[in-house]
């Protein structure tokens, strides 16, 4: 299961991570967001400890989504060494997402 991250613990969880972190910005009423979570759960099982995947509910958290100017859902953002690297495209298929990640 993909863990939740909030505005309050974002710095501790994401910015202090020693491995790359992929964050899904989502909301429960977004069908595409929920479908993507299933793909991300499969991806997390495949990559193991090489990548941390977390999700942030934008209905409950406003600061980080505003800082990143999140305007559509779902949105995937990659962080490395605590810094935002880029948004990840190919939303919907774990194979397309994996190709864009710093793995291997």
* 33 has catalytic annotation: yes
* 30 has catalytic annotation: yes
Residue pair 87/76 in contact (Cβ under 8 Å)? The answer is: yes
Given 6, 17, 27, 30, which residue is catalytic? 30
Given 14, 33, 58, 64, which residue is catalytic? 33
Tell me 62's DSSP state.
Answer: -
Give the pair of three-digit tokens for residue 96.
Answer: 């397309």
Handedness of CA 17, 23, 29, 33 (dihedral sign): negative
Could you list the active site residues? Answer: 30, 33
């Amino acid at each position: 299961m993909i863990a939740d991250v909030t505005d309050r613990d974002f710095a501790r969880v994401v910015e202090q991570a020693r491995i790359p972190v992929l964050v899904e910005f989502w909301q429960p009423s977004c069908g595409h967001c929920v479908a993507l979570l299933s793909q991300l759960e499969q991806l997390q099982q495949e990559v193991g400890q090489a990548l941390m995947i977390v999700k942030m509910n934008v209905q409950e958290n406003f600061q980080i989504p505003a800082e990143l100017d999140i305007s559509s859902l779902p949105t995937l953002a990659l962080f490395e060494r605590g810094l935002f690297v880029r948004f990840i495209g190919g939303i919907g298929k774990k194979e397309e997402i994996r190709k864009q990640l710093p793995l291997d």
